[in-house]
Structure 1
Amino acid sequence: MLTNLSLVEAPDPVVSLTDAKAFLHVWHDDDDALITQLIAAATDKLDGAGGVLGRALGVQTWRLMLDCFPAGAVKLPLPPFRSVESITYFDRHGDQQTLDPADYKTSGVGGTGVIVSTGDWPDTWDFPGAVDIVFEAGYDAVPASLKQVILGLVFFWYSTRGKVPDGNTATEVPFGFDDAISAWQVAYVG
């Protein structure tokens, strides 16, 4: 079963410009655009479908497209799961239908989201992306240790910008980065 995951509604920034500037001890506005860009890049490195954590940081909405309903449960990526907003599908005749929330149950709020049918999943049209699940994931308050990792990346990239690496000491992330994120990385859900 092929899947496709896309962002519907992005989260608000998890680290503010004010907090990053205080962390960097930058008291002028000359580098605001650069620091804002570094915050976004550090967040992108961790957050969402492309992030190394495999989880949603701030509250965000995602669309999961499936070619058909699975034989069992639908396991949602990007914990922490919050809610399912809608499930639509193309029936055997190619007509789009909305699945009644009474026809499925969800579990795993705050962790890995799971959707199960209360009966049998409906048959779908043999069509790529026949099932469309829109769901919300992310933290109301991002854990402090994850904010610290973002601030650490911003600091590292801000302080090493424009420096030419000598020999083979070039690194994209600071020493200890992998240890700092290891407890937060999600195993593949599929």
Structure 2
Amino acid sequence: MTMTLIKPPALEPVTLAEVRQFLRLTDNSEDGLLDGLIKAARETLETQTGLALICQTFRLYIDQWPTAGVIKLRKCPVQSIVSVSAYHVDGTPVQVAAEDLHLESASRPARLYLASRTANSVALEVDFVAGFGETGKDVPDALRHAILTLVAHWYEFRGVYGAAQQPVSYPPAFERAVGLWRKVSF
């Protein structure tokens, strides 16, 4: 199984203004740097936890029909299924009808149940939306604080270590905030 990002988040879970306030910066001379740090901190947090913070669309490629018709979606929380395409041996795609799908989004990982196997199909593509919501206000406060903490840490140590040594470390406050959300083995 391979998963790719089809549509990235429209915005970051914390704003530049929130980061400037957190860092007690009064000017905007380093906004470019801060924007990059915010995005890198979000990506780091999402990688470590298996979460999508702001709604994003992913495509999951599955090379063989899943055992018992169950597909585990490894980005959480799953908001919706956009489409499911089954591929025949000759490469012809067939859309799987919505009534043949059941999403159990409350579990982690979320599970997509397929009612029955599409005749002659061997592979699947599943497009789905994952994230807490459309804005940073939808993201749990602990995760937003973890991003702020990591941005502050990286901002403070930006000139001390070279690029080959990055990231230098994660601050304990980041580790504690992310610890409860860290992904478990699937």
Residue in structure 1 matched with residue 185 of structure 2 by the alignment: 188
Residues 88-136 of structure 1 deviation map (CA, whole Å, 9 limit, x = unaligned): 1212443211111111211125853211122x2224555xxx3110001
Question: Displacement of 1:52 after TM fit?
Answer: 0.6
Q: What stretches of structure 2 of length at least 5 have no aligned partner?
A: none
Question: Displacement of 1:178 after TM fit?
Answer: 2.2
Counterpart contact for 2:37–2:151, Cα < 8 Å: yes
Match status 1:135 vs 2:134 = no
- Which is richer in helix? 2
Are residues 13 and 164 of structure 1, via their aligned partners in 2, closer, same or farther at CA, if it must alter by over 3 Å? Answer: closer
Q: What amino acid is aligned across from residue 29 of structure 2 in structure 1? A: D
Residue in structure 2 matched with residue 59 of structure 1 by the alignment: 55
Alpha-carbon separation, structure 2, partners of 1:143 and 1:31: 27
Among the aligned pairs, what percent are the same residue?
27
Q: How does 1:119-158 map to 2 (within 5 A)?
A: 120-125=116-121, 130-140=123-133, 141-158=138-155
Residue in structure 1 matched with residue 21 of structure 2 by the alignment: 22
TM-score after normalising by structure 1: 0.85
Residues 139-166 of structure 1 deviation map (CA, whole Å, 9 limit, x = unaligned): 020100000000001111111121259x
Counterpart contact for 1:17–1:36, Cα < 8 Å: yes
Counterpart contact for 2:71–2:111, Cα < 8 Å: yes
Q: How does 1:165-176 map to 2 (within 5 A)?
A: 171-176=168-173
Alpha-carbon separation, structure 1, partners of 2:49 and 2:87: 32
Q: 2:2 aligns with which of 4, 9, 24?
A: 4
Counterpart contact for 2:4–2:59, Cα < 8 Å: yes
Q: What stretches of structure 1 of length at least 5 have no aligned partner?
A: none
Alpha-carbon separation, structure 1, partners of 2:14 and 2:21: 11
Aligned residues: 176
Alpha-carbon separation, structure 2, partners of 1:152 and 1:58: 18
SS of 2:176's partner is: helix
Alpha-carbon separation, structure 2, partners of 1:176 and 1:124: 52
SS of 1:58's partner is: coil
Q: What amino acid is aligned across from residue 112 of structure 1 in structure 2? A: P
Q: What amino acid is aligned across from residue 14 of structure 1 in structure 2? A: P
Are residues 110 and 28 of structure 1, via their aligned partners in 2, closer, same or farther at CA, if it must alter by over 3 Å? Answer: farther
SS of 1:52's partner is: helix
Alpha-carbon separation, structure 2, partners of 1:114 and 1:76: 6
Alpha-carbon separation, structure 1, partners of 2:106 and 2:148: 28
TM-score after normalising by structure 2: 0.87
Q: Which runs of 4+ in 1 moved over 6 A?
A: none
SS of 2:19's partner is: helix
SS of 2:48's partner is: coil
Q: What amino acid is aligned across from residue 143 of structure 1 in structure 2? A: P
Alpha-carbon separation, structure 2, partners of 1:104 and 1:80: 18
Residue in structure 1 matched with residue 175 of structure 2 by the alignment: 178
